[in-house]
Amino acid sequence: MPFRRSAPKLLASPAVRVGLSISIATGLYGISFGALSVTSGLDFWQTMALSLLLFSGGSQFAFIGVVAGGGSGVAAMSAATLLGMRNGIYGMQLNALLHPTGWRRFVAAQLTIDESTATSSGQTDPAEQQRGFWTAGIGIYVLWNLFTAVGALAGSGLGDPKQWGLDGAAVAAFLALLWPRLKGREPAAIAVVCALATVVAVPFVPAGVPILIAAVVAALIGWFSHGRSDEGLEPDVDPYEEHHHGHGHGNPHGNGDARRAGL
């Protein structure tokens, strides 16, 4: 296990320090998830179930986003599940990187999200990759759930969510999740095409379904075009961003080039 070290030594590890700071940054926005979830019509425990069990920011926001728009439970589940596919890709990368065995494999799977993957794969030393994954994974899990609860409790006392602009907060949250993935012209074009497909579909199909239509359009683009294979697979909050300010685009992770070369 990565933690057989004394505390001061652990804090000297760059991966642990990056993991802790990404935990705080990501955990904090659990507040916005909690608040938006209860104002979308989910109750406190449904909100907590999403953070404890589903534990993948984008999918959780997708679930409540569909419910808030009047979509059905099936549509909410489908959107969340399609958005969770990338975690399967991360799982394959992490399995090759960390080789977890026994029960740790099952725990590692639950902690497999954008940020823990990025923290781990941004390191080159195998021991650091371990520490980065577990620090970010456990840290985010604890703080994300804590702040989801805080947000859910605060949100349920707000009264009319529209008065506080919480529907505007949802819009901003989705754009903020999308933004870091729009590196280059092609992902931006995919986003525009899918947004247009959505708008065209809204008047004709039940609420929630336009999102699934956009997912099919995006999947077809991915299947038949030949761009970077890691497009769209960036974390919402980049753990290594501060070290790469000013370098502009591209995946700044240590193994970004390897991933781009087709894994």
Partner 1 sequence: MNLWIWLLLACALAYAWKLAGYFVPAKLLKDPRMSRVAGTMTIGLLASLTIVNTVASGQALAADARLGALAAAAVALAFRAPFLLVVLLGAGTAALLRLLGWN
Does 12 engage in binding with partner 1 (CB under 8 A)?
no
User: Is residue 168 part of the contact set for partner 1 (CB under 8 A)?
Assistant: yes
- Rule CB under 8 A: is residue 203 a binding residue for partner 1? yes
Window contacting partner 1 (CB under 8 A); options: 7-15, 128-136, 138-146, 161-169: 161-169
Q: Given candidates 21, 156, 202, 254, which one binds partner 1 under the rule CB under 8 A?
A: 202
Size of residue set near partner 1 by CB under 8 A: 113
Q: In terms of DSSP H, where are the helices of the chain? A: 7-11, 14-28, 30-39, 44-49, 57-68, 73-83, 85-98, 103-110, 114-121, 126-156, 166-178, 185-201, 209-224, 256-260
Q: Note the Cα 72 to chain centre separation in Å.
A: 23
Q: Of 58-87, which residues contact partner 1 (CB under 8 A)? A: 58-59, 61-63, 65-70, 72-74, 76-77, 79-87
Our finding on whether 21 is near partner 1 (CB under 8 A) is no
Selection from 140, 96, 126 nearest residue 254 by Cα: 126
Output 13 or 39, the one with its CB closest to partner 1: 39
Q: Which of 7, 106, 248, 249 binds partner 1 (CB under 8 A)?
A: 106
Decide: is 146 part of the binding site for partner 1 (CB under 8 A): no
* Tokens representing residue 245 in the block: 């300010």
Cα distances (Å, whole numbers) of residue 131 to 108, 118, 152: 12, 12, 31
Handedness of CA 138, 13, 261, 182 (dihedral sign): positive
Candidate list 195, 243, 257, 258; residue touching partner 1; CB under 8 A: 195
